[in-house]
Structure 1
Amino acid sequence: MEEYRTVEISADDFFIEKKSKFIGYAKPVKTVEEATEFISQIRSKHWDATHNVYAYVLRENNTQRYSDDGEPGGTAGVPMLDVLLKENLVDVCVVGTRYFGGTLLGAGSLVRAYSHTSKIAVEAAHIITMAECDVMSIAVDYSFYERMNIILSDFSANIKDSDFADNVKITFSIKKDRVEALQAKLTDVSNGKYLLEYIGSEFAQV
């Protein structure tokens, strides 16, 4: 997988439906253990809630899991999972906490409510795209530093560090398929003076 969508931060949001309070939580997770721990934290926090429903999708072994936690089958965990799948999200866990307000919701209303719970949670957690990137560095003269920053921005590179010494050493990540074009651009504008140095690879936000 060269590219995937996930969430950036842990976040939550809520709404009221027929006096029932629905709270949606979302968090980036990478393993079943991390997802399980997150679910346990929310259940401990809302031990007095009527239901704590969850769903998560992991890149690891293409794992997909959900729980209705006492709601009628197919009305809670599945709708929450469906939101993750429709958004093509992975390495994400969502928990939907419900405090029953006294008015019964029909199956259709429950499905819509838990779908909305999942949706507002992942929106609050900021959906981002991660891609396989090369981590590179380049040392440039101070006179070229500003120009270099503009070029890196043009190629959607993410600057990780700038070290100011005799010259400026910039470390950045960039999508693998953009490296060749970046080097060609640098060769052109600097008459071959500046060369990129490969450091490694990682998944990074693009």
Structure 2
Amino acid sequence: MTKTLAAPLESELIIKKSRFLGRIEAITSQQEGLLKVEALRKSHPEARHVCYCLLVAGQVRQSDDGEPSGTAALPMLRVLQHKQLDNVLATVVRYFGGIKLGAGGLVRAYSQAISEPLNQAELIEVKQQGELSLKLDYEFQSLLRHQVEQTDIELTLDYQQQIHALLQGEPEKLETLYLNLREATRGQVERLG
């Protein structure tokens, strides 16, 4: 069972005048994680480094952002993997204090900035996500919208000769929604792909 965070966590460490601001939060896609990293860079323009590690569906993206290779993102990744986390972004913003920490000192600082807040973390199970593509007549649009509003399924509509709907959510909920729509429309909803 893979886990993610129920709520974002933050930490602040000061080591030899360098300030390390750690943050760990749940994300649903690599793109979401990269946008959060970019926002962090903009909100900390004076920071020397904004290092990150993100894990989504077992896929890793990371950056040492100018720190010596292997001293920032890799130690952060090891902490996340040790806790068996997924769908998570770990970032550490470093304000350089003028005293070099050495490779070992950097590894400890970046690990600690992520591991300390995780000791108090509330973890939740990562729910598998699926997709369902449907084609239906315009007369059933309000029925579709109403059914989707009763769940936590995401809906994207594409208006063509018929409506093409892309639904994203937990596979069991998608299947239940599809069966309910087929019944309510007497089979006039078509699964695509």
Does structure 2 conserve the Cα–Cα contact (< 8 Å) formed by 1:132 and 1:201? no
Deviations 1:148-178 (A, max 9, x none): xxxxxxxxxxxxxxxxxxxxxxxxxxxxxxx
Letter of the 2:66 counterpart? G
Q: Once the 2 structures are TM-superposed, how far is the Cα of residue 123 of structure 1 from its aligned partner?
A: 4.3
Partner of 1:116: 112
Partner of 1:5: 3
Any gaps of 5 or more consecutive residues in structure 1?
134-199
Pairing 1:1-206 to 2, within 5 Å after superposition: 3-59=1-57, 62-123=58-119, 126-130=121-125
CA, structure 1 residues 72+24, in 2 after alignment: closer, same or farther (shift >3 Å)?
same
Any gaps of 5 or more consecutive residues in structure 2?
129-171, 175-193
Letter of the 2:73 counterpart? G
Letter of the 2:60 counterpart? Q
Structure 1 Cα separation of the partners of residues 110 and 96 of structure 2: 13
Deviations 1:118-156 (A, max 9, x none): 2134446x24131669xxxxxxxxxxxxxxxxxxxxxxx
Partner of 1:197: none
Q: Once the 2 structures are TM-superposed, how far is the Cα of residue 38 of structure 1 from its aligned partner?
A: 1.0
Structure 1 Cα separation of the partners of residues 55 and 45 of structure 2: 24
Q: Once the 2 structures are TM-superposed, how far is the Cα of residue 102 of structure 1 from its aligned partner?
A: 1.0
Structure 1 Cα separation of the partners of residues 47 and 117 of structure 2: 18
CA, structure 1 residues 128+106, in 2 after alignment: closer, same or farther (shift >3 Å)?
same
Q: TM-score, normalised by structure 2?
A: 0.63
Structure 1 Cα separation of the partners of residues 127 and 31 of structure 2: 24
- Secondary structure of the 2:67 match is coil
Q: Once the 2 structures are TM-superposed, how far is the Cα of residue 37 of structure 1 from its aligned partner?
A: 1.0
Q: Give the alignment's Cα RMSD to 1 decimal.
A: 2.0
Q: How many residues are aligned here?
A: 131
Structure 2 Cα separation of the partners of residues 131 and 36 of structure 1: 20
Identity of aligned residues (%): 34
- Secondary structure of the 1:55 match is strand
